[in-house]
Amino acid sequence: MSKIVNVKNTVIGEGMPKICVSMVSETISDLIVEAEFLKEQRIDIVEWRVDFFNDSLKRDKVKEALIEISKVLGDKPLIFTLRTSKEGGKKDIDTKYYMEINREVIETKLIDIVDIELFNDEKDVKKLIDEAHKNNIFVIVSNHDFYKTPSKEEIINRLIKAYKLGADIPKIAVMPNTAEDVITLIDASRIAKEKYIDAPIIAISMSGKGVISRLSGELFGSAVTFGATNNSSAPGQVQVETLREIIELLHSSM
């Protein structure tokens, strides 16, 4: 039986894919309102996309916001994600700050999962992973390609690399330009999960073409899907109510 990630009674890697929604507000006051709204929704996980936050480059403001968010969310699992511009984020963030703010946030123990980007120096990534695990925080190691879908072999290799670095949840999201690209992503994630990775994975084909990957993860091994409420953080996200209905329908038929 494959490993699972059990965080605040949410089991990732077992049963239906868990639904995550990203907070994308720009100010602390708006983040509090957004967190209060999301706490009442039928979702499993909340992600804070810190790069949308106006003060994301001010570590004291990031930690101040995090304190308020964590108070509101309570037992709802929280992912901390500072997405860099090279991975589709809103801010141009230098490596030194990226590593430092992630480490400082990990040390607060106010988050449940941290997202660390794969394409950094391996030693730096490993240090953050080790620091997270010391503080009982799970780690997503992620990679995003907003322009194309790599080959099946490359997708598998990136997921394996993330896993071998110590990721609790390897993640990849890619942009399809054809229907074949979507099939490539789905089959690559199936192979990676069945043959190489004893852990939950997240595999997403973005945009409208790739929406099937956000719905059918239980079939091909993707354990988390990202939906939208008022705003979306990536192309192709489905509204949460519709997303849950379809996932539940597919689950009941499997």
Residues known to be catalytic: 144, 171
**CA atoms of 60 and 65, how far apart (whole Å):** 9
Element (H, E) at 113: strand 113-117
Q: Does 48 carry a binding-site annotation?
A: yes
Q: Does 22 carry a binding-site annotation?
A: yes
Q: Does 239 carry a binding-site annotation?
A: no
Q: Does 2 carry a binding-site annotation?
A: no
Is residue 218 within 8 Å of 184, Cβ to Cβ? Answer: no
In 3-state terms, what secondary structure has residue 24? coil
Q: Which residues of 185-194 are buried (b: 16+ CB within 10 A; e: fewer)?
A: bbebbbbbbe
Q: Does 85 carry a binding-site annotation?
A: no
CA torsion angle 119 120 122 126 (round to 10)? -110
Residue 232 per-residue DSSP state: -
Q: Does 158 carry a binding-site annotation?
A: no
Is residue 170 within 8 Å of 163, Cβ to Cβ? Answer: yes
Which residues sit in the known binding site for 3-dehydroquinate?
Answer: 22, 47-49, 83, 214, 233, 237
Which residues sit in the known binding site?
Answer: 22, 47-49, 83, 214, 233, 237
